[in-house]
Amino acid sequence: MPAPLPNDVRALATAVRELRARKALKQEEVGAAAGLSRNYMTSLESGRMNPSFTALVHVSRALDVPLSELVSMYEERLSDA
């Protein structure tokens, strides 16, 4: 059985997934707009990776939201955990 995801990783994964769903975008679309692969987006949204700051900037731009909104949603999800 895989180990449970740390709260911070799960919160970031949830924030990215929720923002993408709000925009009704596919992982492929966000990945392409961010210069990242669908596999990268899948790993990010499932919490299997710790993205770089640059990757988060690209993802927030691809989602057409300020990075501060992504971080704010991350913090909300973190406090929910």
Question: Quick check: 1 pLDDT over 80?
Answer: no
Parse the chain into domains and list their residue ranges: 7-80
Between CA 73 and CA 54 the distance in angstroms is 18
**What CATH class does 7-80 carry?**
mainly alpha
pLDDT, tens digit, 9 for 90 and up, residues 8-42: 899 999 999 999 999 999 999 999 999 999 999 99
In 10 A of CB 9, how many CB atoms? Answer: 17
Rounded Cα–Cα distance for residues 42 and 36 (Å): 10
pTM value?
0.89
